[in-house]
């Protein structure tokens, strides 16, 4: 299991913008967080997965933080690895999309994550997978703190002298994704619309919506794009990611038309070595199952744990010796 090895500093991205980038690939939960500081004001785009990580971020930020600390949080979407640290900033305004706030209802709670990582059978696929990829986090005592301000479409705010535009681009990765644009600074935070280094996971889909979200990011003409996970990207990297999504969409749709089940289609795509330089290949199982839901006209809420369990089954069957 990959340990924590958390960054002890923040990397400058632009004037007033600094990135806390855990940068581990091949596993789940290490999300990027962007600190915005100007004068006596500070805001944070996304919060880490647990209190230990959030305290590490605050310590790493050190003298960048004004005396009043972080007063505004933006959650790019409702997944716990971007929101469970919210409770470490009591009294902060927490901003998300209305759809993102409603999605919190369907996200596994900290208590459910603790159960999955501690009380499921360790020799069964889901218990094995949960411990391997989520067992390092401390979910005890974490309270999922919901947004205090929600919007649909667009929302603008100022952090000191820094103008911040929040643009809803979901449903794509999740029901309520937003991206954060800093006009004049050439920076966009994409949340989990974008992953670098690993196969992405998209719980809501369809993949065409994720492509559209990427195109909305590129239309902002950024120089630097911060993905939800992994290393900072250029617009060219985003273009390559769009190509990946379109290739995958075509592979899934053709197998659906040929009568494959979702799991058969995923196994076939994985067997072909699709982008096998990327980590977490089992996420193809989730991406395929989600795309099939749309192709089959299933409009119910996606069950995140059930989807993860299907990926865990594939990973368990294809595990190495470690």
How far apart are alpha carbons 213 and 171 in whole angstroms? 9
Closest CA to 241 of 217, 222, 273: 217
Instruction: Please select the residue that binds Zn ion; options are 81, 198, 249, 291, rule is CB under 5 A.
Output: 81
- Which of 43-51, 95-103, 192-200, 230-238 is the region at the interface with Zn ion (rule: CB under 5 A)? 192-200
Distances from the Cα of 152 to the Cα of 75, 95, 149, 170, 209, angstroms = 14, 11, 11, 10, 17
Judged by CB under 5 A, the residue of 46, 192, 198, 282 near Zn ion is 192
Nearer to Zn ion, 80 or 127 (CB): 80
| Residue 203 vs 244, nearer CB to Zn ion | 203
Region of 42-50, 145-153, 167-175, 187-195 interacting with Zn ion (CB under 5 A): 187-195
Give whichever of 162 and 315 is closer to Zn ion, judged by the CB atom.
315
Size of the site for Zn ion (CB under 5 A): 5
Residue 283 CB, nearest approach to Zn ion (Å): 12
Stretch that binds Zn ion, among 81-89, 150-158, 240-248, 286-294 (CB under 5 A): 81-89
Beta strands 33-38; 178-182: pairing state: unpaired
Pick the closer one to Zn ion by CB: 228 or 302.
Answer: 228
Task: Indicate whether 228 belongs to the interface with Zn ion (CB under 5 A).
Answer: yes
Q: How far is the C-alpha of 74 from the C-alpha of 61, rounded, in Å?
A: 17
- Tokens 């059978």 locate to 121
> Which x/- pattern, by CB under 5 A, does the window 14-43 give for Zn ion?
-----------------x------------
If the CB atoms of residues 251 and 290 are measured against Zn ion, the closer one turns out to be: 290
Task: Give the shortest CB-257-to-Zn ion separation in angstroms.
Answer: 31
One-letter-per-residue 3-state SS of 161-209: CEEEEEEECCCCCCCCCEEEEECCCCEEEEEEEEECCECCCCCCCCHHH
Helix (H) or strand (E) run with residue 100 in it: helix 98-103
Cβ-proximal residues to 256 (8 Å cutoff; 6+ apart), any chain:
265, 291, 292, 295
Task: Summarize as ranges the residues that interact with Zn ion (CB under 5 A).
Answer: 31, 79, 81, 192, 228
């Amino acid at each position: 299991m990959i340990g924590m090895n958390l960054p002890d500093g923040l990397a400058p991205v632009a004037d007033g913008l600094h990135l806390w980038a855990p940068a581990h690939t091949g596993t789940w939960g290490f999300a990027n967080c962007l600190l915005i500081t100007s004068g006596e004001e500070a805001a944070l785009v996304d919060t880490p997965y647990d209190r230990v990580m959030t305290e590490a971020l605050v310590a790493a930020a050190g003298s960048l933080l004004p005396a009043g600390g972080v007063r505004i949080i933006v959650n790019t979407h409702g997944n716990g690895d971007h929101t469970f640290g919210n409770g470490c900033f009591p009294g902060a305004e927490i901003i998300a999309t209305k759809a993102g706030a409603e999605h919190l209802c369907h996200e596994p709670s900290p208590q459910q994550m603790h159960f999955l990582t501690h009380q499921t059978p360790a020799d069964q696929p889901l218990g094995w997978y949960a411990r391997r990829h989520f067992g390092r986090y401390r979910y005890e005592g974490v309270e999922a703190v919901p947004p205090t301000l929600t919007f649909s479409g667009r929302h603008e705010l100022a952090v000191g002298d820094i103008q911040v535009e929040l643009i809803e681009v979901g449903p794509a990765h999740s029901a309520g994704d937003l991206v954060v644009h800093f006009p004049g600074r050439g920076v966009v935070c994409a949340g989990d619309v974008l992953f670098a280094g690993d196969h992405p996971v998209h719980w809501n889909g369809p993949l065409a919506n994720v492509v559209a979200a990427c195109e909305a990011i590129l239309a902002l003409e950024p120089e630097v794009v911060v993905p939800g996970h992994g290393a900072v990207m250029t617009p060219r990297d985003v273009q390559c990611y769009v190509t990946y999504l379109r290739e995958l969409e075509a592979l899934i749709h053709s197998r659906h038309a040929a009568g494959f089940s979702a799991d058969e289609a995923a196994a076939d795509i994985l067997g072909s070595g699709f982008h096998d330089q990327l980590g977490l290949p089992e996420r193809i199982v989730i991406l395929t199952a989600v795309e099939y839901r749309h192709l089959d006209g299933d409009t119910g809420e996606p069950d995140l744990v059930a989807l993860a369990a299907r990926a865990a089954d594939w990973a368990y069957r294809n595990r190495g010796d470690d």
